[in-house]
A and B are shown apart, each in its own frame.
Chain A
């Protein structure tokens, strides 16, 4: 088990160093976005309009945090199920997005797009939301405040723990891990 440290902006070379199964610690800036924000971003792309955030080299974290208690920068902030973003992800990877962070498996289209555009899909521990929130030192809404928990936030994180699920070589830790530990009936 190797642990690598990554920060945005990610280059193609950074991405190619990552392999399915690697544990990573993310520091620096990540953007949040889930169902509603993704729908809006892709609608802008389809209309040929600019995005409210420049995604090239960036990472999107699929999260809808709980409200911050007074004195805290963010509420609990664990990943949501990534599969619901599958329809939108290839278009964002084509815009230069380099990594998405969520939990759960991705579609064939997303995995192919990761290979084509040199991107990675990372997973954080679903349900470890209080622990993950502790890595966030700053949170500000940068787009769609009307979406509440679904708005796009710019987060500053330190040593945010994640695991590479799908790398740019077609590797998939869900498939490989399951094969390794499966016992035939």
Chain B
């Protein structure tokens, strides 16, 4: 069925969920509309986003990632503290119970932090994007027996009753797909996170000292063994987001830049020398991984951020 699309002034044909533009490679309007129409436009109903978010919220809370489990099992082999080993065993068994019984691995089912990478050739239809994301969260938390941990106002603190709103980070990317990443974030580890505006002269050592100091002060509170997300560069708000994004990386995958990969290794070694150990009872497994993400910085600035994740390092993604 030929349709006229507003904003993308082309005649196109609707094939199921996607809209295909026959003029796509040689569109005469391209020079006027700045190439907006390059690539076929694909229509996606926002109800698909709701469905994805809901499913991912449940899956993230019930099933610990294989990368984290592998890392915990490796730590069990190397941890010298008997109490530390006992904790690691409990955590591994806990993950198995949660997966088998489809119950939350942690009672703090988190703030629903949701990253959406929206392909610029996607046209969303069927409703409001943010409402669709929040509806997915509401369905998962209300119907899926997850804990509702969000208060509507930070000071007057009345629970919203359905764990909405989510914290939503929307990013536009090339292509005609949508990637949804759901990362439920517990309060205990989030509370131990920190941002610091360092001086450029502080350099790599200044950043590393800040990271180690933040983990040291956090001690037993964020449920070690932890995953440490580090942001370096950008601005104050950008660096915090980098630290959060660093937590989404698969454990065991180093930074692609050898300079930062080495910094990650050094930081992990320093952190595990602190002796905090599993649950803070003493031991050598304080962190499972340190992940760094960077961004260009202002000539006057060296922002750094540390976002700590507990061993229930939850994130699941789906591509639509």
Shortest beta-carbon distance from A59 to chain B in Å:
18
The segment out of B8-16, B81-89, B233-241 that lies at the interface is B81-89
Partner of B280, one of A78, A134, A174: A174
Give the Cβ gap from A180 to chain B, nearest Cβ, in Å.
5
When distances are taken between beta carbons in the complex, the residues of chain A under 8 Å from B312 are 127
Bound: A55/B109 CA distance, A: 29
Cβ-defined contact, B220 with A67, below 8 A: no
Asked whether, in the complex, the Cβ of B188 is within 8 Å of the Cβ of A181, the reply is no
Give 28 CB contacts A-B under 8 Å: A1-B83, A21-B83, A66-B109, A67-B146, A69-B145, A75-B145, A77-B107, A78-B107, A81-B221, A105-B221, A123-B279, A123-B281, A125-B279, A127-B94, A127-B311, A129-B107, A129-B108, A130-B105, A161-B90, A174-B220, A177-B81, A177-B83, A179-B275, A180-B81, A180-B275, A182-B275, A183-B273, A185-B273
Q: Is the interface of B mostly helix, strand, loop or mixed?
A: loop
Contact for B221 among A69, A103, A161, A180, CB less than 8 A? A103
A176 within 8 A of B: yes
Q: Are B221 and A66 in contact (CB under 8 A)?
A: no
Binding site for B on A (CB under 8 A): 1, 21, 23, 63-69, 72, 75-78, 80-81, 83, 103-105, 123, 125-131, 133-134, 148-149, 161, 163, 173-174, 176-185
Contacts of A125 in B (CB 8 A): 87, 90-91, 94, 279
- Tell me whether B276 is interfacial, beta carbon within 8 Å: yes
How far does the alpha carbon of A77 sit from the alpha carbon of B145 in the complex, in Å?
Answer: 13
| Contact across chains for A130 and B91 when beta carbons are under 8 A apart | no
In whole angstroms, what is the CA distance A125 to B225 when docked? 11
Q: How far is the CA of A178 from the CA of B276 in the complex (A)?
A: 5
A133 touches B282 (CB 8 A): no
Number of A-B contacts (CB under 8 A): 167
Complex: how many Å from CA A63 to CA B188?
12
In the complex, how many residues of chain B place their beta carbon closer than 8 angstroms to a beta carbon of chain A? 49
Within the complex, which residue of A67, A81, A105, A181 is in contact with B145, where a contact is CB–CB below 8 Å?
Answer: A67
CB < 8 Å neighbour of A68 from B90, B105, B145, B221? B145
Cβ contact within 8 Å between B148 and A149: yes
Nearest Cβ in chain A — how far from B137, in angstroms? 15
Contact B81–A66 (Cβ < 8 Å): no
Q: Are the C-beta atoms of A134 and B159 separated by less than 8 Å?
A: no
Residues of B within 8 Å of A75, CB to CB, are: 103-104, 107, 145, 147
CB atoms of A63 and B107 under 8 A apart: yes
